[in-house]
Structure formats: structure tokens, C-alpha cells
């Protein structure tokens, strides 16, 4: 919806905002970008294989990322990408729109996994499960400040990953059903 303060006839968008559930109120300079973003998200969702959840891995250790990808494949999940930095995670999440993100905390780049998860959740509402070797009080406190969906400590077992992924996807599905 166009921002009424920028409209030639502000009564039209004001009426819509007052009478209809509006998802976005944006300035004219942002409307086109938002439309492109929404079309890309819809296209990404329509490419999904029925019954197979799409997972984005954010992990800067190549062997750990490969291990996660293999375990998830064995469990019939589809890994849509594996990313090494928090900055790249935000970009990949926007473009690929996964069902779930497995996120390390200490990452390559300037942004850690907690901040990347916070931005992804705020912008895209994609759930994040942290997979990290750090279980100290400070790290746990930082993670608790986010809307996270789980925490798995490395080294991990396949059963731990499967349980965390299943619980996170189940929680997300219940949230989506309640919001309809």
C-alpha cells in the first residue's frame, strides 16, 4: 500500500488502511522493490518439493557444513545452500526462503550468527536453530535474546540434529496455522 503522505489523493490509501488488513505501507520508492521481493519469495516457495523441507546451513567450517548437509540428506531434507558468513546468510535467506536455518554462532565475516539470526527473523520470519560448539553462559544469554527455535551443541549426533529440526519445523507449522 502506498504511504498516504506521498499519495496525490491520500484518502484512497487511508481508506484502504482503515478498512482492510494491509501488510505493508511503503513510500513510492520502495513499492517496486517490495513487489519484486514478494514475487521472488512466491516463486521460491512454488519450487519446493512436496514433503521435503528446505534448510539453509550457515557454517564457516567446510567439514562441519558438509557433515550437516550429508546428515540432512540422509533424513530426506533438502539443503538449499550452505553459507559461511552472517551477511551472506541474510542474502541467501532472502533469495532462497528456506523453511529453516541451521546457524553457527562464530562465523566468517563481521556479523556473528546471533545477529544474522535476529535480522533474518525480524525481516523474513524464518526460524533458526543454532548449531555451535559454544555453550558458555555468555553465548547462551545472547542466544536467549533472540526468537530462536533450538540449540544443538557440536559435536552433534544425527539424532540431535533430526530432533532439533523436527521440533523447529513442527513449532513453525503450528504458528502458521494459528496465524491463519
- Per-position DSSP letters for 124-149, written without gaps between them: H---EEEEES--SHHHHHHHHTS---
Domain match, 36 and 87 both: no
| Nearest Cα residue to 35 out of 85, 84, 71, 1 | 1
- DSSP assigned state of 26: B
- The domain of 115 spans 50-179
C-alpha 18/C-alpha 15 separation (Å) is 5
Domain match, 133 and 156 both: yes
- pLDDT score of 50: 43
Domain match, 54 and 39 both: no
Contacts 24+ apart (CB under 8 A), 136-141: 139/105
Count of domains observed in the chain: 2
Q: What φ, ψ does residue 99 adopt, rounded to 5°?
A: -80, -25
Full pLDDT tens readout for the chain, 180 residues:
677 788 777 777 676 667 666 667 777 777 677 766 666 655 554 444 445 899 999 999 999 999 999 999 999 999 999 999 999 999 999 999 999 999 999 999 999 999 999 999 999 999 999 999 998 899 888 888 888 899 999 998 889 999 999 999 999 989 888 887
**pTM higher than 0.75, yes or no?**
no
For 64, the 3-state DSSP assignment is: helix
Domain match, 40 and 77 both: no
Cell of 30: 520502495
Domain match, 26 and 109 both: no
Pairing of strands 128-132, 100-103: parallel
Amino acid at each position: 500500500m502506498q504511504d498516504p503522505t506521498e499519495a496525490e489523493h491520500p484518502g484512497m490509501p487511508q481508506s484502504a488502511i482503515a478498512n482492510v488488513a494491509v501488510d505493508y505501507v511503503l513510500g513510492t520508492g520502495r513499492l517496486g522493490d517490495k513487489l519484486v521481493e514478494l514475487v521472488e519469495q512466491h516463486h521460491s516457495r512454488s519450487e519446493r518439493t512436496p514433503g521435503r523441507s528446505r534448510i539453509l546451513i550457515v557454517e564457516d567450517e567446510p567439514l562441519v557444513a558438509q557433515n550437516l548437509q550429508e546428515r540432512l540428506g540422509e533424513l530426506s531434507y533438502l539443503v538449499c545452500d550452505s553459507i559461511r558468513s552472517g551477511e551472506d546468510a541474510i542474502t541467501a535467506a532472502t533469495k532462497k526462503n528456506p523453511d529453516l536455518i541451521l546457524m553457527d554462532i562464530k562465523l566468517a565475516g563481521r556479523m556473528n550468527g546471533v545477529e544474522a539470526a535476529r535480522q533474518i527473523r525480524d525481516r523474513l520470519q524464518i526460524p533458526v536453530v543454532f548449531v555451535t560448539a559454544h555453550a558458555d553462559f555468555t553465548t547462551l544469554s545472547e542466544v536467549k535474546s533472540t526468537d530462536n527455535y533450538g540449540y544443538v551443541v557440536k559435536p552433534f549426533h544425527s539424532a540431535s540434529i533430526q530432533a532439533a529440526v523436527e521440533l523447529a519445523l513442527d513449532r513453525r507449522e503450528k504458528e502458521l496455522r494459528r496465524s491463519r
